[in-house]
Amino acid sequence: MSANGSKILAFGHYQPSRVVTNDDLAQMVDTNDEWIQSRVGIKERRIADTETVADMAGFAAEKALAASGLTAADIDLVIVATCSSIDRSPNVACRVADKLGVAGAAAFDLNTACSGFSYALANADHAIRAGAAKHALVIGAEKLSQITDWSDRSTCVIFADGAGAAVVSATAEGEEPGVGPVVWGSEPSDAIAIEGWQPYIVQEGQKVFRWATGTAPQVALAACEKAGVAPGDLGGFVPHQANLRIIEPLARKIGVDPAVLSRDIIESGNTSAASIPLALSKMIERGEVKSGSPVLLVGFGGGLTYAGQVVRCP
Amino acid sequence: MATREEVVTGLAEILEEVAGVNPDDVSEEKSFTEDLDVDSLSMVEVVVAAEEKFGAKIPDDEVQNLKTVGDAVSFIVANS
Ligand SMILES: CC(C)(COP(=O)(O)OP(=O)(O)OC[C@H]1O[C@@H](n2cnc3c(N)ncnc32)[C@H](O)[C@@H]1OP(=O)(O)O)[C@@H](O)C(=O)NCCC(=O)NCCS
């Protein structure tokens, strides 16, 4: 049966236990804590040891599922947003389904790099509205450390590992949708490239910075407008954690209260498709966002791609 | 079309918002990096904001040639 909308029931996240500080990186490449903090905003990040993308996705999904009150048997759709999984088949979504004991669900991976979670959430929302699914696991998971050139100081100081997950369900009849209309698109460019066999992330930093600085505010404002929410009324703002120098001006530009902006990049680095659900899950865990309040998600990155929507905090 | 003075004033507003530069410190002979302490990322923000404010297209390759406020004013006046 089709539904008039979907809502997020719960979030969960996972970060590897190994902390890598800026001083640790300064031992490996010609960089320093002052530069990284002032240009990117990162103090430390988490890097996986033996965990795979599917392991991290599974841990995050398990927590989200437990918090949602549903069980694995309820889930009929699994979408994993990732650009760093090495294993192609079974895809990460099937591996997660297997770990959690989800049987018979539609399961696929989606790659739009750093905007992946917002794309995946929109796909789940659309599937639920169309009646093709009722309860979805939507996951962003990355092990960027395995596609990072650890001798390239322009990228290795930025990227990190982690996962975040959401349980998304059909709204009841007459209930207000909790996932707002998506604003998405692309602007093809190889400014962020992960190409070829055994690839590394290669990035034209200034070009990406300029694109994000110009585009993200437009996506953010359009998503708010479509949802009918004024930026000043947002209870949370979780842009992709790319660079503090991108997200703080973005919040200022669109008129969001700086107090509701997630700055998880400071302690987690840039985890691409995982950054939005990871950051929001942590904000909720710390009690920083009120249940039911509107939260703006804006993803942007490789492709170049972008996507954003306003969601109701579970 | 904007005059040079108008563009300087507009740039001073942008510099204050983006990089916390005191508008009184902004004049044509000042270097963005040396005198006004604007780093490469703030410079990109200034360029994006200036494009919006003055309707000028400032290409990526041009940004490195904009060393002083006067360089930026000349480019904007000629291209908006
Ligand atoms: C990557 C990024 C932080 C680099 O900042 P930048 O100001 O563009 O850096 P540049 O390459 O121009 O280098 C500026 C200076 O810092 C130096 N530098 C570069 N990387 C450095 C590092 N890791 N440590 C210390 N110094 C570094 C450069 O050598 C240069 O020095 P110089 O001015 O003496 O020549 C920035 O471009 C960025 O964040 N871009 C967006 C990337 C992004 O968000 N990607 C994710 C996409 S979703």
Residue A198: the pLDDT is 87
Mutate to test the pocket of ligand 1, among A209, A247, A248 (most ligand atoms within 8 A of CB): A209
Residue A37: the pLDDT is 98
Phi, psi (deg, nearest 5) at residue A106: -65, 135
Per-residue pLDDT of chain B (80 residues; tens, 9 = 90+): 789 999 999 999 999 999 999 999 999 999 999 999 999 999 999 999 999 999 999 998 899 999 999 999 999 999 98
**β-strands A135-143, A161-170 pairing:** antiparallel
Residue ranges of alpha helices (H) inside A52-144 are 53-68, 92-100, 116-130
Looking at the CA of residue A31, tell me the nearest atom of ligand 1.
24
Domain extents for chain B? 4-79
Q: How far apart are CA B11 and CA B21, in angstroms?
A: 10
What angle do helix axes A275-285 and A116-130 make, rounded to 10 degrees?
80
Domains belonging to chain A, first-starting first, are 6-170 (3.40.47.10), 183-312 (3.40.47.10)
Q: Which CATH architecture has domain B4-79?
A: Orthogonal Bundle (1.10)
- Regarding the beta carbon of A207 and ligand 1, being less than 6 Å apart is answered no
**β-strands A183-186, A44-46 pairing:** unpaired
Give A249-271 pLDDT, tens digit per residue. Answer: 999 999 999 999 999 999 999 99
Note whether B45 contacts A: Cβ–Cβ < 8 A. Answer: yes
B-chain residues within 8 Å CB-CB of A209? Answer: 41, 44
Cβ neighbors of A241 (< 8 A, separation 6 or more) are: A247, A262, A263, A264, A265, A268, A269, A270, A271, A275, A276, A279
Q: From A35, which residue of chain B is nearest by alpha-carbon distance? A: B39
Q: Which amino acid is at A124?
A: A
